[in-house]
Amino acid sequence: MTNRIKADILVIGAGSGGLSVAAGAVQMGADVVLLEGHKMGGDCLNYGCVPSKALIASGKAAYAQRHSDQYGVAVASGAADYGAAKDHVADVIAQIEPVDSQERFEGLGVKVIREFGHFISDREVQAGDTIIEARRIVIATGSSPLVPPIPGLEDVPFETNETLFDLRDKPDHLLIIGGGPIGMEMAQAHVRLGSKVTVIEGERALGKDDPELAQIVLQTLRDEGVEIVETATAAEVKGKAGAIEVVIEDGRSIKGSHLLMAVGRRTNTDKLNLDAAGIETTKSGIKVDAGLRSTNRRVYAIGDVAGGMQFTHVAGYHAGVIIRSMLFALPSKASTSHIPWVTYTDPELAQVGLTEAQARDIHGDKLEVVRFDYHHNDRAIAERKTKGFIKVMVVKGRPVGASIVGYQAGELIGLWALALANDMKMSQIAAMVAPYPTIGEINKRAAGAYFSPRLFESALVKRVVGLVQRFIP
């Protein structure tokens, strides 16, 4: 028997974006229904950001024990219990789960239905035996690991981010196809936990980042024992559990015990029956306008499924954009120019706005690039974390991008995201007083590097100072 209900807002998908919409909307008085056919919290909590950073933390702890002599502390073996590290991962997920739980959202007043939904008309979605008619619908179904059609792969066991964190036995030799952020983060985590690791990348590893900064990360991983094979497209995969072989197009063969596919993501739209609602898609996801509306104006798409930048914080940002539109009928558009991203290797790699190459293409001779090295920061020296630098792309006194590689780069990039979001000037960054000694001083010193030649190398400034000293009593 089919039940019919009505709602102001129907949210499809209980990942980070969908949960943000549901929580915000219901607390501001909207009648909200939330559908989730799999796990509350979505990919980020269960398979992505949270478990990966927990495993990275285990790797850091093991590495720190083996390199403690630089601090005057006796070196320990740093031997890792891979199964216990996965227990740590599971415990971290369990501690965060209540925040994303069905019980919490029902407590807020959201009607939660644990079924997948599909459109049956332009404003109706069926989930199990329930049909929901909603004034506004939000698709927040996220993305899944992309598994490319490599010959032989269908006959060989492999991991993705959705299965890796359930693996209890340490891989002897982990092969990773894909040299993007996920591949490189998991490569370093596993080599630090005692696995041999080979990364196979068809183009350039960390290819979306500034190559000057990416090279520091890649060399660090190589120094730690990760083999990184670039411009190497996988032509065939063969073997069996414990004995897997990846054949490269040029004939080379790389053998290992386990295989992780980390070549990208595909948007989750297959179950939605979008045609029934008049919703168009592109190669990258659901087609949306600047306000994140689909071709059906009652329906919004946010997060990964909207086909843009695939980050949890982007989904949360999208939620704020559409809440303004749905609840208050106010114009609201999404932008990407102020969105940061971080690769959580050690050292971290962070970016917001334009890279140097992008800024030069757009702004040409108007661009100034200022830099500051970690090895000039006193706190970095004290912590033995002097590898890395920041560079800021500046046009007419305003930052248009920042790139950071080094210790806590993911924390440092937040200030530049704030600056870009609010069209701030370098003078405003320079006016900030940072506590001493902190890694955060690097940001202020970068702003200082912009003004230094204007102050200390200016003949006019020196002439004015000279006149003041001579004639002002």
37 known member of a binding site: no
69 known member of a binding site: no
108 part of a folded domain? yes
Q: What is the pLDDT of residues 123-134, one digit of tens each?
A: 999 999 999 999
Q: CA-CA distance, 230 to 221, in Å (whole number)?
A: 14
**Tally of domains within the chain:** 3
How far, in Å, are 27, 304, 403 from residue 11 at the CA level? 15, 15, 35
152 known member of a binding site: no
Q: Which residue has the higher pLDDT, 460 or 288?
A: 288
183 known member of a binding site: yes
Mean pLDDT of 287-315: 96
Look at the block and give the residue holding tokens 């069996």: 240
Q: Looking at residue 353, what DSSP letter applies? A: E
Mean pLDDT of 167-182: 97
Q: 33 pairs with which residues across the strands?
A: 10, 111
- Give the pLDDT score at 460: 80
142 known member of a binding site: yes
Same domain, 108 and 204: no
Q: 177 pairs with which residues across the strands?
A: 200, 261
178 part of a folded domain? yes
179 known member of a binding site: yes
- Give the pLDDT score at 135: 97
436 part of a folded domain? yes
Question: Which residue, 328, 350, 374, sits at the end of a domain?
Answer: 328
Question: Which residue, 294, 328, 362, sits at the end of a domain?
Answer: 328
pLDDT surpassing 80 at residue 386: yes
Q: What is the pLDDT of residues 328-375, one digit of tens each?
A: 999 999 999 999 999 999 999 999 999 999 999 999 999 999 999 999
Same domain, 119 and 235: no
Per-residue confidence at 147, pLDDT binned at 50, 70, 90?
A: very high
Which residue, 11, 20, 25, is CA-closest to 317?
Answer: 20
292 part of a folded domain? yes
335 part of a folded domain? no
Same domain, 137 and 225: no
Same domain, 196 and 230: yes
Full domain range(s) for residue 405: 340-456
Mean pLDDT of 210-238: 98
For position 369, which CATH number holds? 3.30.390.30
184 known member of a binding site: yes
Assigned token pair, 440? 């955060």
CB 274 within 8 A of CB 286: yes
Q: CA-CA distance, 372 to 360, in Å (whole number)?
A: 19
Q: What is the pLDDT of residues 236-266, one digit of tens each?
A: 999 999 999 999 999 999 999 999 999 999 9
Q: Looking at residue 171, what DSSP letter applies? A: P
Q: CA-CA distance, 97 to 465, in Å (whole number)?
A: 61
- Give the pLDDT score at 464: 82
182 known member of a binding site: yes
Same domain, 347 and 305: no
388 known member of a binding site: no
- CA end-to-end distance (rounded Å), the chain: 94
Same domain, 255 and 271: no
Question: Which residue, 224, 245, 264, sits at the end of a domain?
Answer: 264
Q: Which residues contact 374 (CB under 8 A, 6 or more apart)?
A: 380, 385, 386, 387, 388, 389, 406, 407, 442
- Give the pLDDT score at 2: 86
CB 36 within 8 A of CB 114: yes
pLDDT above 70 coverage of the chain, percent: 100
Same domain, 408 and 419: yes
Give the helix/strand (H/E) hosting 410.
helix 409-421
Per-residue confidence at 24, pLDDT binned at 50, 70, 90?
A: very high
Same domain, 272 and 139: yes
141 known member of a binding site: yes
Q: Which residues contact 163 (CB under 8 A, 6 or more apart)?
A: none
| CB-count burial class (<10 Å; 0-12, 13-18, 19+) for 177 | buried
Angle at 307 between CA 314 and CA 134, to 5 degrees: 80
218 part of a folded domain? yes
Mean of all residue pLDDT scores within the chain: 96
Same domain, 280 and 359: no
For position 19, which CATH number holds? 3.50.50.60
- Give the pLDDT score at 468: 84
Same domain, 239 and 322: no
Same domain, 133 and 177: no
83 known member of a binding site: no
pLDDT surpassing 90 at residue 106: yes
Assigned token pair, 293? 């509306």
59 known member of a binding site: no
Where do runs of H (alpha helix) occur along 2-152?
A: 16-27, 42-46, 49-66, 82-96, 102-108
Q: Which residues contact 339 (CB under 8 A, 6 or more apart)?
A: 309, 311, 313, 314, 317, 352, 417
The order of strands in the sheet holding 340-343 is 340-343, 348-353, 398-406, 388-395, 367-373
267 known member of a binding site: no
119 part of a folded domain? yes
324 part of a folded domain? yes
- Give the pLDDT score at 37: 96
Q: Which residues contact 221 (CB under 8 A, 6 or more apart)?
A: 184, 187, 188, 191, 228, 345
Same domain, 190 and 254: yes
